[in-house]
Amino acid sequence: MTKDEIQFWMLIAFAAASVLGFYKVYFIFNTPLKGIDTKTQHDQLEDIILNFLKQSKDTGLTSDTVYKELTQLDTLQDDAYKNFNQNRCNQLLQRLLHTYKAESIKELIEKVHHLDLDRSKNND
């Protein structure tokens, strides 16, 4: 075998290995993970927090106490919510504060209670 033939076969082997490698990378990044997607989980957690705040009688809650009480709920014991932590709770609370145009958790609880009362009056 000459030097040119060896270089040719090495080039063919490199091209084949590159194609196989690119296929594997494409396959890894385009395979959906098992379970619910992040946006759906985010919306579900937001609903859980809203329902918790609606049922809460204490308006002096902080983000730490909200997190501690939320982790005690049976709905968050599921494996789907195993990544729920203090940081994610704070992010969701900030999003709710922005959505309801509230300055504090106390104001958010009051607005959620008022919206709930308004809905119940409209349904009657």
Tokens linked to 35:
């379970």
Domain boundaries, the chain: 1-31, 38-123
73-111 per-position pLDDT tens digit:
888 888 878 888 999 999 999 999 999 999 998 898 888
Q: Is the pLDDT of residue 10 over 80?
A: yes
Return the axis-axis angle of helices 105-123 and 86-99, rounded to nearest 10°. 60
Percent residues over pLDDT 90 in the chain: 45
